[in-house]
Chains A and B, each alone.
Chain A
Amino acid sequence: GAVVSQHPSWVICKSGTSVKIECRSLDFQATTMFWYRQFPKQSLMLMATSNEGSKATYEQGVEKDKFLINHASLTLSTLTVTSAHPEDSSFYICSARGSREGGTQYFGPGTRLLVL
C-alpha cells in the first residue's frame, strides 16, 4: 500500500517551454501533497504544500507564477514549470501524506528535468 506515482520520470525541453509533472496517489487518498526540489548531493527542499481543493502554499523564495501547482482531486496533484530556463533543471519529487500514524509522507519516484 501507499504507492505514489510520478510522471514523467525524465524531461528534456527547450528553454521557454512549460513542463507539467503529475503526482498520483494510487491506492490511497491524499488530502495533502508536497512538492520538493533536490539539487545533487543535497537534501530535499520543500517548494510548496498542496491541499486538495485549495490554493497551494508556497515556501519563501519559490515563485508561485513560475511553479504552478494544482491539486484537483484527492489522488492527483500537478506541478507546471512555466517558461522553463536552464536554472530550473533539477530533480523534482512529490509526496503524499497518508493516513498512517504520524502523517507519513510517501514519495513518488521523482522527475529529472533538464532544460536546454
Chain B
Amino acid sequence: AQKITQTQPGMFVQEKEAVTLDCTYDTSDPSYGLFWYKQPSSGEMIFLIYQGSYDQQNATEGRYSLNFQKARKSANLVISASQLGDSAMYFCAMRESSNYQLIWGAGTKLIIKP
C-alpha cells in the first residue's frame, strides 16, 4: 500500500503567490515524522521542514510552513510569496518510529512563472 501520496505531478504558480503542495500519508505507527525536501535541477536534495507526529503546532521555517492535519493524515507544504528560485521538484517523506528510513512520495514539479 502506498504510504505517501503526492497527487500533484506538476504545478504552475505565478511569482509572489503562495503555493500549497499536497501530501497525504498512511501509517498505523503513532510516532512518525514528516519531511519535505526540495530538489532543484542540479540534483541535490535540500531539507526544508520537519513535523513530528506529536508536535502540537505546525512547523514553520522561513517562507515554508507545514499544514499538519493529523486526523486527515495530511502534511501539506505551504510556500509563501513564491520566488523564481522555488522552481524545483518537491518531495514529501515519512519516517516511522521503527527505523530512520524514509518513505518517499512521487514528488511534485513546481514551476514559478515570472
Contact B35 A104 (CB under 8 A): yes
Contact A101 B107 (CB under 8 A): no
A3-32: CB near B (< 8 Å → 1, else 0) gives 000000000000000000000000000001
B65 to chain A, nearest CB (A): 16
Contact A43 B91 (CB under 8 A): yes
Number of interface residues of A (CB under 8 A): 25
Contact B104 A43 (CB under 8 A): yes
- Sort chain B's interface into a size bin: 20 to 34
A43-B107, A112-B43 given; name 17 further pairs at CB < 8 Å.
A2-B47, A32-B100, A43-B91, A43-B104, A43-B105, A43-B106, A44-B102, A46-B102, A49-B101, A93-B44, A93-B45, A97-B100, A102-B35, A103-B95, A104-B50, A106-B47, A107-B46
